[in-house]
Amino acid sequence: MREAEIRRLLAANLLCAASVILAAVVPAFFLHGFSVLGTHLTWLCVCSVCVATLNIILHLFLKPNQSPKRSSFAHKISRFLKCCIYFFMSCILFHAIIVLYGAPLIESVTETFLFAVLLSTFTTLQCLCLLGPNIQAWIRVFSKNGAMSIWESSLQITTVCSILGAWFGAFPIPLDWDRPWQVWPISCSLGATFGYMAGLIIAPLWIHWNRKQLTYKSR
């Protein structure tokens, strides 16, 4: 396993983590009264856009899973449209799952949906950038020993950390602390964000420490 590839992964992940931090700091200079807690819905939108944009740009420049075959313009358009549909379906699916786990069904619909968009950005968008709209590849990557590259191993770790972070973030909501960050869905979205950032840092470190045991075989 080449050290240069691990360094590329670390640099890309640090840039993604930096985009989350910048999404919480930079808008305050342009939007009056902006804050992660005070204008949480605005932050959800800004963070989702920043992370999505950077992920797409990094994928276009780094091309970690570039296919040796050249595709036609029509194929690229079809692939792009499928990715858009898959992302929207992911937002709907996450929204439904979040409601089934106890989120308000009618009240706070906007908050729940924007949280679902953020979660889809941390998980589904990465899958679309790296694997494309290929469900079989998704199933392979998230199966045991299914990763075929360090990028797919990183995808596994960041996705799991994001979902676990969102889940753990829900624990303080029913507690009678009466804190501003207990309002739905602040703690869950913050939990998902911290989980995502933790996964971005943990992934390259874990791969580096276990590089001698990791063997990737093409299938």
pLDDT at residue 188 greater than cutoff 90: yes
Q: How far is CA 196 from CA 155, 163, 192, 216, in A?
A: 10, 8, 6, 24
Whole-angstrom distance, CA of residue 189 vs CA of residue 45: 12
Summarize pLDDT for 45-80 with one digit per residue, the tens.
999 999 999 999 999 888 776 555 666 778 889 999
Q: What average pLDDT does range 192-212 have in this prediction?
A: 93
Structure tokens at 83: 């990715």
As a whole-number percent, the residues of the chain with pLDDT over 90 amount to: 70
On whether residue 106 sits in a domain, the answer given is yes
- Cβ 138 vs Cβ 95: under 8 Å: no
For helices 186-209 and 109-122, the axis angle rounded to 10 degrees is 10
On whether residue 66 sits in a domain, the answer given is no
Number of structural domains the chain divides into:
1
**Average pLDDT score over the chain:** 90
On whether residue 67 sits in a domain, the answer given is no
On whether residue 68 sits in a domain, the answer given is no
On whether residue 50 sits in a domain, the answer given is yes
DSSP 46-59: HHHHHHHHHHHHHH
What pLDDT sits at residue 1?
A: 52
Continuous segment of H or E residues that includes residue 36: none
On whether residue 202 sits in a domain, the answer given is yes
Global pTM reads 0.92
pLDDT at residue 100 greater than cutoff 50: yes
- 14: containing domain: 1-61+73-217
On whether residue 144 sits in a domain, the answer given is yes
Whole-angstrom distance, CA of residue 98 vs CA of residue 101: 5
On whether residue 90 sits in a domain, the answer given is yes
Backbone torsions φ then ψ of 174, nearest 5 degrees? -75, -5
